[in-house]
Structure 1
Amino acid sequence: MSVQPVTRVWLRNKRRLLDVQAGLARRRFRRIRNTFYNSLWSDAAEAVGAELSRCPNGLVRIRKGQASTFVDHSDLMLDSAITLRLMANKAMTFDFMAETDLRTPAFAKFMLSTIEKAEAFLAGQNGPVVVKPADGTGGGRGVTTGIRTVQALHAAARHAAGFNQALMVEEQLVGASFRLVYFDGEFIDAVRRDSPIVVGDGTSSVSALVKAENERRLEGEEITALSPLILDQESRNTLAASGLTASHVPAADEEVRVKLAVNENGAAQNHVVRDDVHPSIIDAGARLVKSFGIRFAGLDVTASDISAPLGQGDTIFNEVNVNPGIHHHYLVANRDRTVDLAPLLLNRMFETGAGTITL
């Protein structure tokens, strides 16, 4: 057997091992996630004068009078299963969004068998690209950013294909990442989500700092994140763009961005910016989520200046999420600006009857 096939098999086995390790790391955070949402819904039910009980199948029932709603972490009863399936298919929603008059990312759909489509897309870009599964995932799983070479493209595609055979490649956007939340088209809140970082102590490597950060998230007195920070190909690309590796030892107080994708950041990297979003962006987002018929929506937007009018701040509408993570609006650095989203949602649902059953 030649060296090249042996090397390829070794790399494939290494990627599988890393994926297993990442899965085990996420499993360790189930307790943190359950603790956070159990407390959130218990407090929210009390705030709206409702009763909370736990069902044998894991759902949480919140009852007020004869009306009941059921929740599971941040999943609510507002949007249909068909809507969830539709919006989980990123390729389909990108196609629909591209038909609007809003600026959306350039992208191409492909599979491993048609990876030449992704190669052609990469060749036509002036900067790096992102590869992700086109359907059935969330939370940044299977996503790789900072792709500049065909070799990196193939590695990212194989990684993403482990989650779904349908794949996407898109332009890597420049600007800050924002999550805007809407209920029935009404704007409720916005959070700027910055990339996860570690801060050097002068003696520890980046990988050691990431390990320490994950232990703090698991064992700290207060909850700051519901998922671990994973060193993966996406983080290796991000570090390499700064000329670094995971073995780099940052100076004391030196900040190192571990990855571009914001899904694994902590509270220190989330900032409430509800009052900073320009009305034209809010209105455009409302039109978009209402056009999809989504009741509880989280709209991901990239912008260099979220306070600038639409068209002046390089605003790009990236993705529409159904049942967006509520924790993003609580685990923030500037807690004095938070909106208590959970009881607000319950009040709207009980007042309107949306997402409830009457018994």
Structure 2
Amino acid sequence: MTAPKRLDSHLMAAQSHLQAAHKAGETGLCAYLIALAAYQRGLDVSFETFLGDDREYLGSHPDYNGNYLRISDGKSVHVFDKSRGDLSKRVHTSAADSKTLSKKLFEHGNIKTPRGASFKPGNEAGVSRFLASSSADRFVVKPEQGSLGRGVHVGLTAEDTRSVSTRQKAAFVIEEHISGSEYRVFVVGDRCVAAYERPALQVRGDGISSIEALIDARNRQRALNPRTRSSLIDKLEVAATLSRTGRSLDDIPHAFEPVTLSFVRNISAGGDNRDVTDTLPGLVGKAAVMACNATGLPNCGVDIIHDEAADVAYVLEVNSRPHLGAHSFPSLGAGAGNAVADAILDHYFPRSARNERFPELVIDIAAVKSALASGQFRSLACKRIEKGWIHRRIPLDASESEVDGLLRQLRLVCIHVEKFSYSESRHVINAFFLPRGFAGLVKTAKQNKMPVISREVDAILFGRTKR
């Protein structure tokens, strides 16, 4: 068991958080990111299976997946259902979730939004009248209430719109299609915290690989991302898109030739996203804040299309419980870290914004989810961080069994310890000690000739080697 000669500390920290996020799973990622941000700033965090129906915004259904949180700073207590906290009242979430109501709010607040109308299934005459009254040549059909891009059809001709409308089983909306760059902007209060662009889903040819092979390569990349791991590109849907232009999955694009795979830009439907927080057009950010305020929500995700030719930002919809994972783990380029969850907590617990942070700390979410899934716990609380905790990062080249043995030793003396593996033989242990316990180890090390843990680990714990 030896220490790796080279293992960058920043890389280790990033990999540790990436592995923990993977364990949260795509559906549990929002709650995990908020819990992590709260934990790292010293707030009390507990994962709940049941919050009761006394909260206006939340139903009474139990959850055993770690998506309900109770967070406290010792004075105030707030509960969260994934990314939606209890300051989001039902009246506001209902308005945001209804495409028709939110559109009326936008129009009342002089916020640009695509022209559209809602219809009940079977209202073919109403659909025909709307299409006849429009000067647009492309349309969008989407559910009146829905999320994750399910049931959304974009870029439809009038004839296709009629056809899609006849297949709707619930209330739906038809809008005029707006061309331009599409954004998701996360707003907290009166500021844009983070934003990403949803470019058209494309692959770029290399002159050798087929479109299908290029998609397979992209899907292997997506499988490594905590947000997109279960939102892979659907080759059957791509084949249908390609057929409209006379292409197939077997085609081999020229080197550097871009091939559009889908016109649906939602990440959950296999779409891409790229962080643009620092380059977001001011007009788009302003429209996002106005849309959030119009709904009365304290924080939300706002979907916007920027028509660059006309320099107009059109608000498509507001999401009262948006997914945070795409901001932290975009499919293209670097992300915003955990800035969104931090901003939410700044809003709910403003005094905690000045708290000392413990960025090295990671929640063992796999253990939390396993315990909750057993049905034997009503809640599981994280040990609250206290000032003076001593952190040691222990990188090791060793077998799994050796590292697990060391882990069992450290659990006897640590307040918090966890393992992250980067290969079969390369691992990192994060160990946190209470000051009194660490002082006892130092005393033992001075008195004994034998190592307290092992010579390699002792050297790291007691500072006899730089890490």
Which category of TM-score, normalised to the shorter sequence, fits these structures? 0.7 to 0.9
Give the match for residue 20 of structure 1. Answer: none
Structure number with higher helix proportion:
1
Q: Give the CA deviation at 1:298.
A: 1.7
Are 2:225 and 1:217 aligned?
no
Deviation at 1:342, TM superposition (A): 0.8
| 1:208 Cα offset (Å) | 5.7
- 2:138 match: 128
Does the CA contact (< 8 Å) of 2:138 and 2:157 recur in 1? yes
Residues 112 and 157 in structure 1, CA contact (< 8 A), matched pair in contact too: yes
Gaps of at least 5 residues in structure 1 are 1-28, 306-310, 354-359
In structure 2, distance between residues paired with 1:45 and 1:125: 50
CA distance in 1: counterparts of 2:98 and 2:172, whole angstroms: 10
2:277 alignment partner, one of 254, 261, 273: 273
Among candidates 302, 305, 308, match of residue 305 of structure 2: 302
Cα deviation, 1:132-182, whole Å, max 9, x if unaligned, reads 1112x11110011121152x32442255x24xx111111111000012222
3-state SS of paired residue (1:346)? helix
Quick one: distance in 2 between partners of 1:158 and 1:31?
39
Q: Work out whether 1:168 is the aligned partner of 2:176.
A: no
2:344 is aligned with 1:340: no
Rg comparison, structure with higher value: 2
Report whether the alignment pairs 1:55 with 2:51: no
**How far is 1:315 from its partner?**
2.1
Aligned runs of 1:1-359 on 2, under 5 Å?
Answer: 32-34=25-27, 36-37=29-30, 39-56=32-49, 57-58=63-64, 59-123=68-132, 124-135=134-145, 137-150=146-159, 152-159=160-167, 161-162=168-169, 165-200=170-205, 205-206=210-211, 209-210=214-215, 213-218=218-223, 220=224, 222-223=225-226, 225=228, 227-230=231-234, 238-240=241-243, 242-246=245-249, 248-251=251-254, 253-264=256-267, 269-278=273-282, 280-305=283-308, 313-332=311-330, 333-335=332-334, 340-351=339-350
SS at match of 1:153: helix
Give the Cα–Cα distance (whole angstroms) in 2 for the partners of residues 120 and 174 of structure 1.
23
Residue type matched to 1:183 in 2?
Answer: V
Verify the 8 A CA contact 2:203 2:258 in the aligned structure 1: yes
Cα deviation, residue 75, structure 1: 2.9
Task: Give the counterpart letter for 1:60 in structure 2.
Answer: L
Q: Gaps spanning 5+ residues in structure 2: where?
A: 1-21, 50-62, 353-467
- How many residues align? The count is 311
Q: Secondary structure at the match of 1:116?
A: helix
Structure 2 Cα separation of the partners of residues 90 and 237 of structure 1: 28
SS in 1 for 2:147: coil
Taking the aligned partners of 1:244 and 1:96, their CA distance within structure 2 comes to: 43
Structure 2 CA distance, aligned partners of 1:203 and 1:119? 47
> 1:75–1:323: 8 Å Cα contact kept in structure 2?
yes
* Counterpart Cα distance in 2 of 1:167 and 1:283: 28
Query: What is the one-letter code of the residue matched to 1:331?
Result: F
Contact persistence 2:105–2:295 (CA under 8 A) = no
How much does 1:264 deviate? 2.3
Q: Displacement, 1:302?
A: 0.9
Contact 1:191/1:274 (<8 A) preserved: no
Letter in 2 for 1:169: I
Q: Which amino acid aligns with 2:234?
A: I
Letter in 2 for 1:153: T
Alpha-carbon distance in 2 for matches of 1:115, 1:31: 44
Task: Judge conservation of contact 1:47–1:343 (CA < 8 Å) in 2.
Answer: no
1:294-345 CA-to-partner distances (Å, cap 9, x unmatched) read: 111222211144xxxxx95132222122122212321234427656111221
Corresponding position of 1:6: none
